[in-house]
Structure 1
Amino acid sequence: MKDIMGMMKAANEMKDKMEAMQAELAELVVEGRSGGGMVTVSLSGKGDMKGLKIDPSLFKDDDVEVLEDLIIAAHNDAKSRSEEEMQKKMAEVTSGLPIPPGMKFPF
């Protein structure tokens, strides 16, 4: 019975940590860059686009496809960084728990 109480306490602590982490991720902003920094995309920790910066030298009629590709690349870079941050924070919250390797959070 003592172990069950300990597990319940640990579960409540983890729930509190998860809620705090989700609030922290909502405030997190990561940047992705492409084209040597000529295009920068900012995303929230939840993947919402918060900003887009484009170097003015890219605004040429014949470079539209290049600009589109750079925006996509910068967005993908920012999303990847956001996911890495989320995984780091989840690892902090779940450290010490017997979670199978490769299991991703949130479910």
Structure 2
Amino acid sequence: MSRVLAGRYELLEQIGEGGMAVVYKARCKLLNRYVAIKILKPEFTKDLKLVESFKKESQAAASLVHPNIVGVYDVGKEGNINYIVMELVEGKILSDIIREEGPLITKEQ
């Protein structure tokens, strides 16, 4: 896979998928760093309510700043592709960690 989105994000590989979107690992050619790009699935691009919900999600996420929350770097639309560019966090998926090691212990427990 070697597609460039918005002239600067080189999509490298799919790293996740949810109900409405697919997440890719990409390289920002402008800043030479790896990012995660969440792209709304094509079957939802004609549903204006879902597209608006996707935009609101990006705005809400961008307003949050905390060491335990991924940062939002960019949001955009190219043709019928709606996307959110986020900080890439390498490592295991939380659901895999819980499955392998059991529930996480919090300080209150």
Greater share of strand: 2
Greater helix fraction, Structure 1 or Structure 2: 1
The structure, 1 or 2, with the larger RCO (C-alpha pairs under 8 Å, 6+ apart) is 1
Whichever of the two has the greater Rg, that structure is 1
Q: TM-score, normalised by structure 1?
A: 0.28
